[in-house]
Chain A
Amino acid sequence: MRHLRTASAALIGGGTGTVFALLAAIFIAVAFINPGFFEWPSLMAFLKQAAPLVILAAGQYFVIVSGNFDLSVGALVGAQVVIAAKLIDGEESRTLPVLGVMLLFGLGVGLVNGLITTALKVQSFITTLGMMLVLYGAIRLWTGGAPTGSLSEAFRGPGRRGIEGVPLIGEIPWAVLIMLGAGAAAIWLMRTRFGRILVATGDNDLAAELSGARTGTVRTVAFVFSGLSATVAGLLIGGYAGVSAQVGEGMEFTVITAVVLGGVVLGGGRGSVVAAMAGALTLEALFTLFNQMFLPASIRPSVQGAIIIAAVAYAAWRRTRRPVAATATVNADPS
């Protein structure tokens, strides 16, 4: 019995179980209020809305598990959408080249974040906070304050359209497929040597370094993945809803919340990427639940705050009860 519990705990790890329980609870609540939610079209619509956050969560997971933060993703998502609109300017033929530019830009921002953090030894909180300010200002400087231009239909496809006429399901949004693809890639990555080194680096970088790992390199790569995830999220959000001045605002805090809700420990070294993505899904489900409940919009932040604290506190409490309590310091930080 005890073996079984330890095994299952090891499988889902730390606070990971909490997020799935919470997700299930929220879905049950939604089902009670609105049974129609679980019909294919509305379920697909939900997943389509959740896709950008889930993808961002996967990217943020790499950074967090290696012991860093990426506060610049919200600004990067916004920048990508604005760049796309300005460069495409309604011309279908420019879609692909502009996607290439966005990809390079996203990877470049990630690389710069990573290099400043690892080579210049600037704490990632400051690096990415600075990057957030720089991106926010630079993009507005470039467009004169408000986004200009417009997106092409082809650009909007992945975020807005899907494969139609699938039996039973109806339409499968491209966004959902992209989310599944990104999720699978992230899971695969974490099973490679890179993934193991990443976690080891976040857990104890000195030990990792002594055993021959290039901690600086994997951390930089983690930031590059985060930049990539913001690029894909930008493509999906821009496609889904078009360009507006406020795209991406505040997403950095939402996504970090989602990752932590998934039981990933800030400071690095613990948590799984599946749980991080489940955290994002849970947060989106929570927003849906609020909506289904007709909860007054102004009170929602309060409920959200209380639930996040409760969930993370519960996960921390479960961690302290487990025998590996040595790591359960007050700050729940491994180092």
Chain B
Amino acid sequence: MSPRRLDTTALIYLALAGVVAVGGAAVAMDGGNLFSTANLVDMFTRTSLTGFLAIGMTLVILCRSLDLSVGYTAALSSLVAATTMDGDPGRIVLGVAAALLVSGLIGAAGGAVVAFLGVNPFIATLGVGLIIKGYLDTRYKGPAGDVPALFQQFGYTRVAFLPISTIVMLALAAAGIWFLRSTRTGHHMYAVGGDIDIARMSGVRTKRVLMAAHVLCGMAAGTAGLLLAARFGTGSAESYTNLYELDAIAAVVLGGTLLLGGRGGIAGTVAGVLILAVLDTVFNVMQINPFAKDVLRGAIIIAAVAIYARRQLGRTARRPRFDAATTGAGTGRP
């Protein structure tokens, strides 16, 4: 198993290096420098938000689940944090705790509907997202709450060209990699995503594992909400309109995690997030028309996944177990 893993992750970082090289060359031809401090800061700043969301999303996708509610969770979390803090530095801890608690509970709710009610995760989390949307639309007529300056540092301070938020995101990614590698629940996530029936028969408490993944995903979205609050200085319900969930899923898949679960990991996801961030920065520096940006983004995502699929295709010859379920003619995710 290990050489193949290496293959996929190496391939993704190779792809990242390629994107960086091509992007750097394109910017250089345009008379700019992609690696100037300003552009690096920009690039890394853009990784933080998608990074938090994508790390959590990786866990649920590994379990062959999905979370379409993360954008709504993040928006709600930003409001919970900002209104709880209410401009008082003494309440920062309380605000962070409240935001993480609420987002964890939302994750738990989505996870419970998936695990115990047997509802397809696409519908379960879309439904949870709609419920939150209704609450936000009814309760908030615009931005609310006030984030103390101290907590805004989370969104604005940086060490050299690395923003604090990116450092926190990378730390969380490292923790996630450790979690998947070294804990039993982490191992079980791969098992549940690989084949839930086999996992159950071999004694994995599948429902509990699914719940864990969803709760962690919710909390990761909550962290993204905290970053939004720090960046905005207030909480914003409107941020759910940006379809962050689709960005996160795209980053996860770009990072080589299979939408069908069971294979992949957070190291790849971080690379996926970086690829998207590099693209965004390159587009920005080169002043690409915003609509052309969408076209390029869409095409690049498809192309990248097609390349991975090509690699996995070669592998299936050696690994019949995955033939039907995994690479079989692009089966959609459940």
The answer to whether A123 and B206 touch (CB under 8 A), given A266-B122, A301-B137, A313-B117, is no
Residue of B whose beta carbon sits closest to that of A120: B306
Q: Which chain A residues border B295 with CB–CB below 8 Å? A: 133-134, 137-138, 141
Question: Is A137 within 8 A of B293, CB to CB?
Answer: yes
Question: Is B332 within 8 A of A267, CB to CB?
Answer: yes
In chain B, positions 133-151 with a C-beta closer than 8 Å to chain A are 133-135, 137-138
Question: Is B302 within 8 A of A126, CB to CB?
Answer: yes
The answer to whether A69 and B332 touch (CB under 8 A), given A257-B123, A301-B137, is yes
Quick one: CB contact mask for A106-147 with B, threshold 8 Å, 1 for yes? 000000000011101111111101111110111011000100
Q: What's the Cα separation between A305 and B291 when bound, in Å?
A: 31
Question: Is A302 within 8 A of B134, CB to CB?
Answer: yes
Residue of A whose beta carbon sits closest to that of B289: A141
Residue of A whose beta carbon sits closest to that of B254: A126
Question: Is B115 within 8 A of A330, CB to CB?
Answer: yes
Question: Is B133 within 8 A of A302, CB to CB?
Answer: yes
The answer to whether A134 and B298 touch (CB under 8 A), given A330-B206, A331-B65, A331-B196, is yes
Partner of B134, one of A140, A215, A305: A305
The answer to whether the Cβ of A219 comes within 8 Å of any Cβ in the partner chain is yes
Question: Is B133 within 8 A of A301, CB to CB?
Answer: yes
Q: What's the Cα separation between A201 and B324 when bound, in Å?
A: 11
The answer to whether A137 and B294 touch (CB under 8 A), given A126-B302, A306-B127, is yes
The answer to whether A331 and B120 touch (CB under 8 A), given A204-B324, A205-B331, is yes
Q: What's the Cα separation between A206 and B332 when bound, in Å?
A: 15
The answer to whether the Cβ of B330 comes within 8 Å of any Cβ in the partner chain is yes
Q: Which chain A residues border B231 with CB–CB below 8 Å? A: none
Question: Is A330 within 8 A of B210, CB to CB?
Answer: yes
In chain B, positions 156-181 with a C-beta closer than 8 Å to chain A are none
In chain B, positions 42-73 with a C-beta closer than 8 Å to chain A are 64-65
| B290 CB to nearest chain A CB (Å) | 8
The answer to whether the Cβ of A216 comes within 8 Å of any Cβ in the partner chain is yes
Q: Which chain B residues border A256 with CB–CB below 8 Å? A: 122
Q: How large is the interface on B (under 10, 10 to 19, 20 to 34, 35 or more residues)?
A: 35 or more
Question: Is A129 within 8 A of B330, CB to CB?
Answer: no
Question: Is B131 within 8 A of A129, CB to CB?
Answer: no
Partner of A125, one of B133, B329, B332: B332
Question: Is B123 within 8 A of A308, CB to CB?
Answer: yes
Residue of A whose beta carbon sits closest to that of B328: A205
The answer to whether the Cβ of A8 comes within 8 Å of any Cβ in the partner chain is no
The answer to whether the Cβ of B273 comes within 8 Å of any Cβ in the partner chain is no
Q: What's the Cα separation between A309 and B128 when bound, in Å?
A: 8
Partner of A305, one of B117, B126, B312, B334: B126
The answer to whether A116 and B119 touch (CB under 8 A), given A129-B246, A132-B298, A331-B196, is no
Q: Which chain B residues border A132 with CB–CB below 8 Å? A: 298
Name the residue in B114, B124, B127 with the highest tally of chain A Cβ atoms < 10 Å from its Cβ: B127
Question: Is A121 within 8 A of B327, CB to CB?
Answer: yes
Question: Is B332 within 8 A of A312, CB to CB?
Answer: no
Q: Which chain B residues border A329 with CB–CB below 8 Å? A: 196-197
The answer to whether the Cβ of A332 comes within 8 Å of any Cβ in the partner chain is yes
Residue of B whose beta carbon sits closest to that of A134: B298
Residue of B whose beta carbon sits closest to that of A136: B294
In chain A, positions 140-164 with a C-beta closer than 8 Å to chain B are 140-141, 145
Quick one: CB contact mask for A292-335 with B, threshold 8 Å, 1 for yes? 00001011111111101100110011011000000011111101
The answer to whether A312 and B120 touch (CB under 8 A), given A204-B324, A268-B331, A305-B126, is yes
Partner of A131, one of B290, B292, B298, B325: B298
Q: Which chain B residues border A317 with CB–CB below 8 Å? A: 117-118
Residue of A whose beta carbon sits closest to that of B258: A123
The answer to whether the Cβ of B121 comes within 8 Å of any Cβ in the partner chain is yes
Residue of A whose beta carbon sits closest to that of B113: A309
Q: What's the Cα separation between A69 and B294 when bound, in Å?
A: 20
Q: What's the Cα separation between A126 and B246 when bound, in Å?
A: 10
| B217 CB to nearest chain A CB (Å) | 15
Question: Is B121 within 8 A of A331, CB to CB?
Answer: yes
Q: Which chain A residues border B118 with CB–CB below 8 Å? A: 313, 316-317, 319-320, 328, 330, 332
The answer to whether the Cβ of B97 comes within 8 Å of any Cβ in the partner chain is no
Residue of A whose beta carbon sits closest to that of B130: A305
Q: Which chain A residues border B327 with CB–CB below 8 Å? A: 121
The answer to whether the Cβ of B238 comes within 8 Å of any Cβ in the partner chain is no
Q: Which chain A residues border B291 with CB–CB below 8 Å? A: 136-138, 140-141, 145
Question: Is B330 within 8 A of A219, CB to CB?
Answer: yes
The answer to whether the Cβ of A260 comes within 8 Å of any Cβ in the partner chain is yes
Question: Is B332 within 8 A of A124, CB to CB?
Answer: yes
The answer to whether the Cβ of A64 comes within 8 Å of any Cβ in the partner chain is yes
In chain B, positions 248-300 with a C-beta closer than 8 Å to chain A are 249-250, 253, 258-260, 289-299
Q: What's the Cα separation between A8 and B117 when bound, in Å?
A: 24
| A173 CB to nearest chain B CB (Å) | 30
What 7 new A-B contacts, CB under 8 Å, besides A121-B309, A136-B291, A137-B295? A118-B330, A120-B306, A122-B305, A123-B333, A137-B293, A205-B324, A312-B123
- 30 contacts across the A-B interface (CB closer than 8 A): A64-B332, A68-B330, A69-B333, A121-B310, A131-B302, A133-B301, A134-B298, A136-B294, A137-B294, A137-B295, A140-B294, A205-B331, A215-B328, A219-B329, A257-B126, A267-B120, A298-B134, A299-B137, A300-B134, A301-B131, A301-B134, A302-B131, A305-B127, A308-B127, A309-B124, A317-B118, A330-B115, A332-B120, A333-B120, A335-B324
Which A residues contact B (CB, under 8 angstroms)?
A: 63-64, 67-69, 116-118, 120-127, 129-134, 136-138, 140-141, 145, 201, 204-206, 215-216, 219, 253, 256-257, 260, 265-268, 296, 298-306, 308-309, 312-313, 316-317, 319-320, 328-333, 335
